[in-house]
Amino acid sequence: MPSSSKLDLLQGTLDLMVLQTLTAMGSLHGYGIARRIEQVSGNQVLLNQGTIYASLVRLEQRGWIKSEWGISGNNRKAKFYSITKAGRRQLAVDARHWERLTGVMDRVLGMGKDAGEAIGESENPA
Amino acid sequence: MSRLRRAGGRLRALFTGRSLDEELDDELAAHIDLAVDAYIERGMTAEQARRRAMIEFGGIQQAREHHREARGFMHFDILLQDLKYTLRTLGRDPGFTAIAVLILALAIGANIAVFSVVNTLMLRPLPFPHAQQLVWIAPPPTKCGLSCATYSTDAYDEFRAGSRSYQDVTGYFAFSSAGNLSLKLGSAPVTATSIDVIANFFPLLGVQPAIGRVFTEDDARNGASPVILLSNAWWKRQFNADPNIVGKAFDMNGHQTTVIGVLRASFDFGAVFAPGTKVDAITPLNLYGPPRDWGNIITLIGRLKPGVSLAQARNDAERVAPTMCWNNKQPQTCGDYKGAVVPVPLKDYISGKLRRALVVLWCAVGAILLIACVNLSNLLLARSAARSKEFAMRGALGASRGRIVRQLMTESLILSGAGAGFGLLLAFTLVGWLANQGAIALPLLGTLRIDGAALGWTVLIAVSAAVLFGLMPGLRMAGGNLHESLKDTSAGSGHSRKHERIRSILVVSEVALACMLLVGAGLLLRSFMHVLDVDLGFQPERSAAIKVDYDDSVPPGSPDGASIQKRTAIFQQVLSRVGAIPGVEASGIVDYLPLSQNRAWGLPFPKGVKRPEGIDNGPLVYVVTQGYLRAMGTGLRGRDFAWSDGPKSEPVVMINQSFARFLANYANWPNRDPVGQLLSSGPNNDLRVVGVVDDVHEENVDGEAGWQIYYPATQAGPSGAELVVRTTLPPAVLANTVLRTLRDLNPQQPLAEFIPIQSLVDHANSPRRFFMFLVAAFAGLGLLLAALGIYGVISYTVTRQTQEIGIRMALGASAHLVERQVLMSTLRLTLVGVSLGAFASLATAKLIASLLFATSPWDGVTYVAMAAALLAVAALSGYIPARRAARISPMVALRAN
């Protein structure tokens, strides 16, 4: 699969994905989170799974997620992460911010298609 | 709150870094295992699954780095890592490390020491509270020495009362001579030097005593019992730091004098007001006693009111000056001080003249630092060339460019830090030594020390040096093309050539800087030699002086001239006894030695000639006995004084050539010859000129000699007696005999020092010698560093071209030819540097013009000599690698790769 067809992640979006994944899935280990993001994105995201750990430690230091060692389904020792209350609040804030941003981007990028009509209308109020 | 927690987390991460790394490794291992499990479940073999998992994961090492970066004090982590790594690499190359640290230590140490001197003399305020308020009040410089730089007691009173700009005005008696205090402790009297100050001197300066008290007005009244303040050094030396000294009385100059206090070590009168001399004690000046009518005797120091500017004080002084009288009883002397009362900041008076020399010194030492940095840059470049593969490898393994630059900067910082450490040690030694050089006539030298500012300066130059010499090789290194570096196994490829060009530029600039330093030092050296060649008007070699105690006081009501007769008898006896000592060639007595103190008594003028307006500065006055001129080795035309020139015979004088030339312009003397002519020094006061004396440098060696007049001690009153002895033996040999003879004649004769006249000259030359010595030392250091730099570059080039040289020799080039080519390339580099340096010197020579004496700042001899010296040294440092090149065996060279 040529990597050029995959999406490069925008700065900060990985953190948001991790928080959302943990909200949806509850407690999960790093591999699980990475896999889940890849699956949900339909394998469209270019993710070196390793980079997830920098994101995890960052979020943990901010107090948005917490971690503890546990045993996975197939009996392997792994570190499990779950979202905290503060994390949920942050997720709400970030998600809203993201929605606004995508809304704006949609409108800006949509400008070309029906721009003519819109401008035409506004120029002839009578 | 969350920020706090985050910081806490990071801090924890820092201290528990190891276990966090381990935990991460566990976590990453678990990740891979989970992934492998998942792929195996999907039917892959274990090996395929593992490979797949690793690909999906990306770089494990990168993940670790990112993790660390996200979690901890990343910079600190890296710093520790870099430090460890750097110490290891430097430890592997002890030769390089030692040379680099040594170069830096020399350069930084010299910089700290010079900064301390500059800071003490120029930057730091004087060691008094609110020192910026202190002003020195004096006329503009004139020909008649101290007498024209001082004020009478009447003038002082008027100025103090009339000025509005000052909190208070004080002063001290300017004519105290060294050894004027004779302390009787046990059998033999001890001499010391004391200064008389006006009672408000210490309160005005804001100086507190270490123990006891300072003077009050009552101590300076008529009939007050004599009191004295001891300097800290004298108290320790002479009185064993007796803590109960206050209140004790001693016989000083025949009076029971009570010690009222001891000054602090931080206050040294000599260091501030009389550089290079030591003042042991301070006594109060009674303004209303005998000094009242001594004329100009007081130097003035004022403390401005807060907020009063110097310009305001000047205007104020101009307003007051016309109302000041030389003597209130002589109204015609009122207004004598017009235009002669000018306040200048005390600091300017003390160290203003040294400013230029200090700036030059500072520049010189800065140039040394630059040269050292260039040298280091060069060494690091050579080293980095050897390490380029190491860095390329690290780059390939994922180290970012910034990371590599940071690593290299750490290296430079460690080197310069170590250099600064040793430099500081060096500076401590230098500064400690300098602070004890009491004989150098530089102000405040005793207060020299490495203080907070000097330490700050150290850090500043250490860091800037590190940036200067480390950044360029660092950038070059990190910017290098990875593939090229890895491939660049054979010498002579483009990358190395570029390196070589940079190194050549560095060497050229280094040579140019060294050339500038050398030229500066050469000019100063030539000036100094000219100064030593100056005809002083006396011959200091084999001449020495000792202070003679005598008592010419006579009971009140004695006939006129009784005191003179008594003194004449004493002097005659002293000279006949001393003259009889074997080895004594000539002897005589004077009251003020040249290059020490002086005074003036007004202006005698040819008799019968109207004196022109506007000239009121008189010649400097010396009261001497017969034989003095011969003892000093001063030439004389006419006759010397004789014992027969007594109080009853015709008053006679000798004048110096300058004064004779000046007077001859007005008088109608045959052949303009003053010998035998009469001068008038007031009504019924005619003086017969019996001789014309060579001009003597009385105030300094490098200035013009002024007017001088000599009176016989058998007719005029001397202010002391210095016995000058010219010997056929070294003066020190005779010291004991002379002192014993004086003791024989007068048991009161204190244990005075037998001072070689040469030491007076040396003392006068000491600041010039000091600066010349320092600049010369820096130039020498610069030359050495430049030589090292040249050697380094040429040697590196030869190493790099070993193969090429081998081939050429195999093709028939002779060893001689190879040697010559290497030498030529050395000289080519040097020549470019020397030309640049000489050009820059020509452009900047004006900066030191004012420090030179009888030497043009564009002195051709100096330039040529210094260029030749540099070329010679360059040839020498290129010769070693050239020899090596010539000895390259073609076979070995070709086989080497």
Q: What is the pLDDT of residues B223-272, one digit of tens each?
A: 888 999 999 989 998 899 999 999 999 988 888 999 999 999 888 888 88
Banded pLDDT at B793 (limits 50, 70, 90): confident
Q: What pairing do the DSSP bridges indicate for beta strands B134-138 and B636-638?
A: unpaired
Mention every residue, 6+ apart, whose C-beta is less than 8 A from residue B140. Answer: B339, B340, B342
Asked if the structure places residue A10 within a domain, the reply is yes
- Asked whether the beta carbons of B231 and B268 are under 8 A apart, the reply is yes
- Asked whether the beta carbons of B438 and B278 are under 8 A apart, the reply is yes
Expressed as residue numbers, the domain containing A92 is 3-112
Mention every residue, 6+ apart, whose C-beta is less than 8 A from residue A12. Answer: none
Distance (Å, whole) CA B713 – CA B575: 13
Chain-chain contact of B30 with A86 (C-beta, under 8 angstroms) = no
Which tokens sit at A58?
């960052």
Which tokens sit at B593?
């030695």
Banded pLDDT at B1 (limits 50, 70, 90): very low
Longest pairwise C-alpha distance within chain B: 139
Question: Which residue has tokens 């050549």?
Answer: B504
Chain-chain contact of B30 with A29 (C-beta, under 8 angstroms) = yes
Mention every residue, 6+ apart, whose C-beta is less than 8 A from residue B548. Answer: B574, B589, B721, B722, B723, B742, B749, B752
- How many Cβ atoms from other residues are within 10 Å of residue B647's Cβ? 16
What residues of chain A, 86 to 105, have a C-beta less than 8 Å from chain B?
A: 86
Which tokens sit at B63?
């993940």
Distance (Å, whole) CA B266 – CA B286: 26
Distance (Å, whole) CA B209 – CA B173: 20
Question: Which residue has tokens 């610069």?
Answer: B782
Q: What is the mean pLDDT of residues B361-383?
A: 88
| Ramachandran category for residue B264: left, alpha or beta (phi over 0 → left; psi -120 to 50 → alpha) | beta
Banded pLDDT at B685 (limits 50, 70, 90): confident
Work out the mean pLDDT of chain B and round it to a whole number: 86
Asked if the structure places residue A35 within a domain, the reply is yes
Banded pLDDT at A8 (limits 50, 70, 90): low
Considering only CB atoms, B34 lies closest to which of A48, A62, A76, namely: A76
Distance (Å, whole) CA B768 – CA B763: 10
Chain-chain contact of A53 with B37 (C-beta, under 8 angstroms) = no
**Chain B contact for A73, CB < 8 A?**
no
From first CA to last CA, the distance across chain B in angstroms is 64
Residue B641 has pLDDT above 90, yes or no: yes
Min Cα separation A90/chain B (Å): 12
Angle formed by the axes of helices B46-57 and B17-41, nearest 10°: 130
Considering only CB atoms, A51 lies closest to which of B6, B33, B66, namely: B66
Amino acid at B68: R
Torsion sign (Cα): B247, B250, B256, B262: negative
Q: What pLDDT does residue A125 have?
A: 41
Asked if the structure places residue A53 within a domain, the reply is yes
Which tokens sit at B285?
């000046």
The size of the A-B interface in CB pairs under 8 A is 84
**Nearest in space to B789 (alpha carbons), one of B589, B505, B595:** B505
Torsion sign (Cα): B852, B856, B858, B859: negative
Considering only CB atoms, B70 lies closest to which of A49, A58, A74, namely: A58
Residue A118 has pLDDT above 70, yes or no: no
Angle formed by the axes of helices B802-810 and B757-800, nearest 10°: 70
H-type helices in B665-756, by residue range?
Answer: 731-745
Mention every residue, 6+ apart, whose C-beta is less than 8 A from residue B782. Answer: B367, B368, B371, B513, B514, B517, B518
- Asked whether the beta carbons of B414 and B104 are under 8 A apart, the reply is no
From first CA to last CA, the distance across chain A in angstroms is 56
* Residues B831-849 pLDDT 10s: 999 999 999 998 888 888 8
- Under DSSP, is residue B542 helix (H, G, I), strand (E, B) or coil? coil
Asked if the structure places residue A121 within a domain, the reply is no
Residue A124 has pLDDT above 50, yes or no: no
Strand partners, B751: B190
Dihedral of the CA atoms B109, B112, B116, B122 (nearest 10)? 130
Burial class of residue B563 in the structure, from the number of CB atoms within 10 Å of its CB (0-12 exposed, 13-18 middle, 19+ buried): middle
Q: What pLDDT does residue A3 have?
A: 41
Would you mind telling me the total number of residues written for chain B in this entry? 897
- Under DSSP, is residue B227 helix (H, G, I), strand (E, B) or coil? strand
Chain-chain contact of A48 with B58 (C-beta, under 8 angstroms) = yes
Distance (Å, whole) CA B807 – CA B794: 19
CATH number at residue A27: 1.10.10.10
H-type helices in B42-178, by residue range?
Answer: 46-57, 60-71, 74-92, 94-118, 153-162
Considering only CB atoms, A76 lies closest to which of B30, B62, B63, namely: B30
Q: What is the mean pLDDT of residues B499-512?
A: 85
Q: What is the mean pLDDT of residues A60-76?
A: 86
**Chain B contact for A50, CB < 8 A?**
yes
Q: Could you tell me which residues of chain B have a Cβ less than 8 Å from any Cβ in chain A?
A: 2, 5-6, 9-10, 23-24, 26-28, 30-31, 33-35, 37-38, 56-60, 62-63, 66-67, 69-71
Lowest mean pLDDT among B128-142, B153-167, B391-405, B441-455: B391-405
Chain-chain contact of B34 with A78 (C-beta, under 8 angstroms) = yes
Over its C-alpha atoms, chain A yields an Rg (Å, rounded) of 20
Distance (Å, whole) CA B295 – CA B156: 11
Residue B573 has pLDDT above 70, yes or no: yes
Q: What is the DSSP string of B537-559?
A: SS--TTEEEEE--------TTPP
DSSP designation for B853: S
- Under DSSP, is residue B281 helix (H, G, I), strand (E, B) or coil? strand
Greater pLDDT, B557 or B101: B101
Q: What pLDDT does residue A119 have?
A: 46
Distance (Å, whole) CA B447 – CA B449: 6
Q: What pairing do the DSSP bridges indicate for beta strands B722-727 and B543-547?
A: antiparallel
Global pTM? 0.74
- Asked whether the beta carbons of B324 and B159 are under 8 A apart, the reply is yes
Q: What pLDDT does residue B767 have?
A: 87
How many domains, chain A? 1
Asked if the structure places residue A49 within a domain, the reply is yes
Q: What is the mean pLDDT of residues B705-721?
A: 90
Mention every residue, 6+ apart, whose C-beta is less than 8 A from residue B61. Answer: B397, B398
Residue B64 has pLDDT above 50, yes or no: yes
Q: What is the mean pLDDT of residues B288-300?
A: 80
Dihedral of the CA atoms B807, B808, B813, B816 (nearest 10)? -90
* Residues B302-331 pLDDT 10s: 999 999 999 999 999 999 988 888 888 888
- How many Cβ atoms from other residues are within 10 Å of residue B678's Cβ? 16
**Chain B contact for A72, CB < 8 A?**
yes
Proportion of chain B above pLDDT 70, given as a percent: 93
Minimal-distance CA residue of chain A relative to B37: A74
Q: What is the mean pLDDT of residues B465-483?
A: 72
Proportion of chain B above pLDDT 90, given as a percent: 36
Lowest mean pLDDT among A97-101, B482-486, B647-651: B482-486
Considering only CB atoms, A54 lies closest to which of B6, B60, B66, namely: B66
**Chain B contact for A62, CB < 8 A?**
yes
Q: What pLDDT does residue B490 have?
A: 45
Q: What pLDDT does residue B832 have?
A: 94
Which tokens sit at B852?
């030179």
Which residues of A are less than 8 Å from B5 in CB distance? 61, 63
Distance (Å, whole) CA B696 – CA B536: 6
Strand partners, B605: B680
Asked if the structure places residue A125 within a domain, the reply is no
Residue B718 has pLDDT above 50, yes or no: yes
Q: What pLDDT does residue B557 have?
A: 82
Q: What is the mean pLDDT of residues B463-487?
A: 71
Chain-chain contact of B59 with A77 (C-beta, under 8 angstroms) = no
Considering only CB atoms, A54 lies closest to which of B35, B37, B70, namely: B70
Which tokens sit at B45?
């073999």
Banded pLDDT at B74 (limits 50, 70, 90): low
Phi/psi at A83 (5° precision) = -85, 145
Asked if the structure places residue A40 within a domain, the reply is yes
Min Cα separation B77/chain A (Å): 16
**Chain B contact for A6, CB < 8 A?**
no
Asked if the structure places residue A67 within a domain, the reply is yes
* Residues A35-53 pLDDT 10s: 888 888 887 776 778 888 8
Banded pLDDT at B72 (limits 50, 70, 90): low
Which residues of B are less than 8 Å from A74 in CB distance? 34, 37
Residue B818 has pLDDT above 80, yes or no: yes
DSSP designation for B489: -
CA dist list (Å): B55 to A28, A47, A72, B48? 22, 11, 22, 11
Which residues of A are less than 8 Å from B63 in CB distance? 48, 50-51, 53-54
